[in-house]
Chain A
Amino acid sequence: MWIFRLFFSSMQSPSSISVRCRLFARYAEIVGQDEVTLSLQRDATVAQAVAVLRQSVPDGARLPEQPMVAVNQEHALAGQVLADGDEIALLPPLAGG
């Protein structure tokens, strides 16, 4: 099994990762969808993911260049490096209460 896993992992592209990107409230309204799967280069940062998203969805350029972002439900900075399978969320200005 270990050998199989090693072989299998070598068949996958080591140079890219897949990230689930979620959009909420006004941002989801702008792009007309609330979830997008992004294929990113390995070691891509939050900022790079946002840039790719803005280019890959309709009206993505209307999203802010530096939105508030969460990674795996934790607030994240633009320079945070992403890993395969991460969930990134673009958060419009918070308005609870």
Chain B
Amino acid sequence: MQYLVDAAIDVAQLIDMVSSDERGGTAAFIGSVRRGPDDGPVVGIEYSAYEAMVETQLDKIIARAAERWPQARVEVRHRIGRVATREASVAVVVGAPHRAEAFAACRYVVEQLKQRVPIWKREILETGERRWRTGDLSPEEHP
């Protein structure tokens, strides 16, 4: 598993991986587990995935990003298993020569991940109850 990790995401390491003397702009999107105003007593999320397809689809998404922004370098990690509120569940980090490419490529990869990568989440409540949660695709509703 290249992209799925079962321990805390090391964002500093990802930034280091996309850095080079030629890349002056780095953009990072960090998605964290949250408790929204209507979510109830959520203490964490349990992530599951179709692991082989996650790898296949993220390979393709990053390859397409490389076609559009050839000088950018992209790293993606997504948590699997239980993640507590405030912990990072996903990180997309892009290094590019300038900020415009870095922001654009980062946004592209995040949106494609949301739409194409088979990952599911089940909220864990204070009571121990679990409930499946459907992701929304609206970027405005995400942090």
On A, residues with C-beta under 8 Å from B are 22, 24-26, 29, 70, 73-75, 89, 91-97
Note all chain A residues with C-beta closer than 8 A to B115: 94
B142 and chain A: residue at smallest CB distance: A97
Q: A25-B48, A25-B122, A94-B135 are in contact. Are A74 and B56 (CB under 8 A)?
A: yes
Q: B53 and A89: CB pair below 8 A?
A: yes
- Tell me whether B121 is interfacial, beta carbon within 8 Å: yes
Q: Mark B39-55, 1 if CB is under 8 A from A, else 0.
A: 00000000111101100
- Most chain-B CB neighbours within 10 Å: which of A22, A74, A92, A97? A97
- A29 CA / B57 CA spacing, docked (Å): 24
Q: B48 and A97: CB pair below 8 A?
A: no
Could you name 29 residue pairs across A and B whose Cβ atoms are closer than 8 Å? Answer: A22-B50, A24-B118, A25-B122, A70-B50, A73-B52, A73-B56, A73-B57, A74-B56, A75-B116, A89-B53, A91-B50, A91-B118, A92-B134, A93-B134, A93-B135, A94-B115, A94-B117, A94-B118, A95-B120, A95-B133, A96-B78, A96-B113, A96-B114, A96-B118, A96-B120, A96-B121, A97-B31, A97-B90, A97-B135
- A74 CA / B56 CA spacing, docked (Å): 8
Q: A70 and B53: CB pair below 8 A?
A: yes
Q: A94 and B114: CB pair below 8 A?
A: yes
Q: A73-B57, A74-B56, A97-B89 are in contact. Are A92 and B120 (CB under 8 A)?
A: yes
Chain B stretch 75-125: residues in CB contact (< 8 A) with chain A: 78, 89-90, 110, 113-122
On B, residues with C-beta under 8 Å from A are 31, 47-50, 52-53, 56-57, 78, 89-90, 110, 113-122, 132-135, 142
Q: B132 and A92: CB pair below 8 A?
A: yes
- A68 CA / B97 CA spacing, docked (Å): 38
Note all chain A residues with C-beta closer than 8 A to B110: 97
B52 and chain A: residue at smallest CB distance: A73
Q: A96 and B53: CB pair below 8 A?
A: no
Note all chain B residues with C-beta closer than 8 A to A91: 50, 118
Note all chain A residues with C-beta closer than 8 A to B47: 96
Note all chain B residues with C-beta closer than 8 A to A75: 116
